[in-house]
Structure 1
Amino acid sequence: MEFAVFLNGYTPGPAAHDTELEHTELMRELELSIAADKHNWKYVWLGEHHALTEYSHLSAPEVMIGYLAAKTERIHIGTAINSLSPRKEHPVRYAERAAMMDHVTQRRFEWGTGRGAGSHEMATFNILDKDSTKPEWNEVVREVPRMWELEDYEHQGETFTVPYPHNVLPKPYGQGHPPIWVACGNPPTFTTAGQMGIGAIAFNFEPIFNLRGRIEAYKEGIANCTEPIGQFKNDNVMITNSVICCETREKAREIALRKGRGYLVTMVNLYHDTMPKSQDAITWPGTPMSLHDIVQDPNIDGDELLDGIIEAGHMLCGTPDEVAEQIAAWGDVGMDQLAFGLPIEGMYHEEILECLELFGQNVIPEFDKDPVHSTDRYRAEAQPKYGRFSKPLPDIEWPTVIPDSALAPLPN
């Protein structure tokens, strides 16, 4: 199992309306990513959302990825997710930017895709029918790998066109192309992702064991995939969860019971109307189902309640040894990558940095003993699908002289 951190520019409360504090949060998330790189974490996922106040102020992950490419050495950096509607932006731009990030990260870029968080976000771009984004994604995600490979790409499709041959540049760096992923909210999407040969990004707003059937559907789909949309199969399921890892059991459990935890889920229920709501279904501005408030009832045993939540797989909480035992107790749920949302609700910045280090140095080595990223292994198997040209080259006069300083000479 590999491990990741997941960032969204989450800026709850009045800070969302103060540009100084908004700046502080974005800079802190960059700091968390750089820290993760130093402590065995293999992936950092950066959200892309638009006009989702408080929930996500991270609208341009490519900008942060460029910064992190220069500040990190090993960690892979992905979009989670790049929404692909051609009404939002022409698909050639998605291909260009992904390939450019593949270069500046030195092949550490992961291309996470999807249809968008929901109707409010999509309406930012005058997209008023959220169901229409699904067929758009299906067309665009299949065409971008063709743009990455062909030098005479053209397309006459249902949702976009490139009317005559163009060489979309740059091409991805070296063998293959960035690993392709899709955000999976509804069960059928897991099967679709597997059949297409791309990775699944999943979110658990329910006990982690409930996801086993969906993961199995994905694994069946990818096992039967004979024609992946890209040059290789990315056989990966990433599941999000939450973690509180501290030096002492008492500190971790105290954080778990802090006031206001659960606020983020109310905003997920508000904005994400293309996926099922959490089990409590509390929607902003409804009061979040906080353990802090529940345990105020003298008839409820707070420790027993927290133990039940941990056992159900909703969260990890405790010392590094306890957290490792909790992961091991899940058994074979089937995910390949476990990602934790940051910032962790209820934790202050310095506490989150400590959690990243403790988990990275003490827990990750227990479960991830392979120094190579799984997506690097899959990419090493990449085979071209389309060739350089889809049609014979025209009979034209080609250059006979180029600058002496050119990186490669003309062929003889």
Structure 2
Amino acid sequence: MKISLFYEFPLPRPWSEDDEHQLFQHGLDEVEAADKAGFSSVWLTEHHFLEEYCHSTAPEMFLAAASQRTKDIRLGFGVMHLLPNINPPARIAERIATLDHLSNGRVEYGTGEGSSVAELGGFNVDPADKRAQWEEALEVSIRCMTEEPFTGFKGEHVEMPARNVVPKPLQKPHPPVWVACTRPSSVEMAAQKAIGALSFAYTGPEALKERVDGYYRDFAEQGAPITPAINPNILAIGGDLSMMVAKSDEEALKRLGIGGGFFSFGIMHYYLTGMHTPGRTKVWERYEEAVKEDPTLAYGPGRGAIGSPETVREFLRGYEASGVDEIILLLNPRSHEGTMESIEIMGKEILPEFIERDARAVAVKAKRLEPVIEKVEARRRPSEAPMFDETYSFGGLPTGRNKFTAGEIPEAMAEINEGRVKAAQLAKEKREAK
């Protein structure tokens, strides 16, 4: 089992002027340390308008910065929203490919639909359309990464003419594709499409084993690839996977404070029970009040990788026994200094044994899946992408309704030419004057 980190970049109020700047700088320090410690990946979510709960609104920017301070750790989108109103598919392809080059081929392309009122309403997305939008956008974004040129698409939600989208990713044909799975049915869908499942695990390793077994059963029996490269993997992420490691359980709890349960509380607030006034509602204050009424909301040992090395090692072994390929440990609001020491302890005292066993498990899994993958690939449907029309071309001035023409460039070129003529005339006059 691989062990990775997950960032939402929560930032509880009250805020001081430097808090957001410090949040990202601390995150970069932590990811650099995690790379040296041997963590497999760092995953960043993408959310919008979820103040206090998540300030990770442009994950590609942070991951690009992290790519220049790290060498081995994988850089995952956990996830990028594929709704066209938020991220047009061609722009997704451009950003994924650019980061892939900047990181020397370390990108994991996690995808999702989004489901909060804040985001869907903020970008004017009808919730009834989000699955169809995700499906169309995933197809178009992958085709933009792999076709030269992209030959065009006209769907219900996405329409784009033929263009050659550049750059192309360093990983060929494209980085590994994942989808966020909050329900068992989503895990089944991921398996059937032969892509990775970013599975939210709220019920512990015992129930997760059933989900893992179901994923690989559905992959073997029904998997039909929708992307050029398949990705048969399932990883676990969830509210009970917060991380804080120290020399003792007591010290770990002290450094985590009450932040361990903020992820789950934030989900309830923004996705289910809370009413939110932008710029006014104090989410952390509400969380503090809830913890006073029910202290169990603040996670401790047994509800996360929280505690001494012995406690955390035992916790992780339980998930390893479920057969999950990767576990992502969440960094809730906590002490930055404590997190840096936590990462160091993980690297020295915990990760080595898991890395060693994972290397063997990956080899065994590859051998086991060889005949399965052959059958899965045989179910691949022929591409429905249109052939490129070799007579197609574009050019000239962009023209819109009422015969509006975007004439900025002709005007600028005319000004440039006029300046060039004047400069030539001035130079001629100077020569003649000599």
Compute the displacement of 1:392 (Å): 6.7
1:210 aligns with one of 198, 204, 207: 207
Aligned to 2:322: 333
* Matching residue's letter, 2:47: H
Contact 2:191–2:223 under 8 Å retained in 1: no
Over the matched positions of the two proteins, sequence identity in percent amounts to 29
Q: How does 1:35-184 map to 2 (within 5 A)?
A: 35-127=33-125, 129-152=126-149, 153-163=151-161, 165-184=162-181
Contact 1:49–1:58 under 8 Å retained in 2: yes
Compute the displacement of 1:76 (Å): 0.6
**CA distance in structure 2 between the aligned counterparts of 1:139 and 1:331, rounded to whole angstroms:** 35
Structure 1 331/62 Cα, relative in aligned 2: closer, same or farther at 3 Å? closer
Q: Secondary structure, in 3 states, of the residue corresponding to 1:52? A: coil
Structure 1 226/183 Cα, relative in aligned 2: closer, same or farther at 3 Å? closer
Q: Secondary structure, in 3 states, of the residue corresponding to 2:168? A: coil
Structure 1 286/244 Cα, relative in aligned 2: closer, same or farther at 3 Å? closer
1:319 aligns with one of 300, 308, 324: 308
Compute the displacement of 1:283 (Å): 11
Compute the displacement of 1:143 (Å): 2.7
**CA distance in structure 2 between the aligned counterparts of 1:324 and 1:75, rounded to whole angstroms:** 21
Structure 1 293/225 Cα, relative in aligned 2: closer, same or farther at 3 Å? closer
Aligned to 1:272: 271
Aligned to 1:391: 387
Contact 2:100–2:171 under 8 Å retained in 1: no
Task: Confirm whether residue 357 of structure 1 aligns to residue 344 of structure 2.
Answer: yes
Aligned to 1:224: 221
Compute the displacement of 1:290 (Å): 4.0
Structure 1 254/292 Cα, relative in aligned 2: closer, same or farther at 3 Å? farther
Contact 1:269–1:283 under 8 Å retained in 2: no
Structure 1 374/175 Cα, relative in aligned 2: closer, same or farther at 3 Å? farther
Structure 1 37/117 Cα, relative in aligned 2: closer, same or farther at 3 Å? farther
Aligned to 1:10: 10
Contact 2:12–2:52 under 8 Å retained in 1: yes
Q: Which has the larger radius of gyration?
A: 2
1:84-141 CA-to-partner distances (Å, cap 9, x unmatched) read 11122321111121111111111101111100141211222122x3232121102211
Contact 1:76–1:110 under 8 Å retained in 2: yes
Compute the displacement of 1:222 (Å): 2.0
Aligned to 1:399: none
Q: CA RMSD in A?
A: 3.4
**CA distance in structure 1 between the aligned counterparts of 2:308 and 2:60, rounded to whole angstroms:** 35
**CA distance in structure 1 between the aligned counterparts of 2:117 and 2:360, rounded to whole angstroms:** 39
1:158-195 CA-to-partner distances (Å, cap 9, x unmatched) read 111113x2222211115321111111112210000111
* Matching residue's letter, 2:251: K
Contact 1:42–1:373 under 8 Å retained in 2: no
Aligned to 2:26: 28
Compute the displacement of 1:349 (Å): 0.9
Q: Secondary structure, in 3 states, of the residue corresponding to 1:322? A: helix
Contact 1:270–1:284 under 8 Å retained in 2: no
**CA distance in structure 2 between the aligned counterparts of 1:36 and 1:234, rounded to whole angstroms:** 24
TM-score (norm 1): 0.79
Structure 1 82/288 Cα, relative in aligned 2: closer, same or farther at 3 Å? farther
**CA distance in structure 1 between the aligned counterparts of 2:224 and 2:94, rounded to whole angstroms:** 24
**CA distance in structure 2 between the aligned counterparts of 1:331 and 1:291, rounded to whole angstroms:** 34
Contact 1:145–1:229 under 8 Å retained in 2: no
The answer to which structure has the higher helix fraction is 2
Q: Secondary structure, in 3 states, of the residue corresponding to 2:131? A: helix
TM-score (norm 2): 0.75
**CA distance in structure 1 between the aligned counterparts of 2:351 and 2:344, rounded to whole angstroms:** 10
The answer for unaligned runs of 5 or more in structure 1 is 275-281, 296-301, 397-412
2:198 aligns with one of 186, 194, 201: 201
Larger deviation, residues 316-325 vs 363-372: 363-372
Compute the displacement of 1:248 (Å): 2.5
**CA distance in structure 2 between the aligned counterparts of 1:207 and 1:288, rounded to whole angstroms:** 26
The answer for unaligned runs of 5 or more in structure 2 is 274-282, 367-372, 393-434
Pairs aligned (count): 365
Q: Secondary structure, in 3 states, of the residue corresponding to 2:191? A: helix
* Matching residue's letter, 1:264: F
1:352-372 CA-to-partner distances (Å, cap 9, x unmatched) read 101011112221111122569
**CA distance in structure 2 between the aligned counterparts of 1:335 and 1:98, rounded to whole angstroms:** 26
Q: Secondary structure, in 3 states, of the residue corresponding to 1:73? A: coil
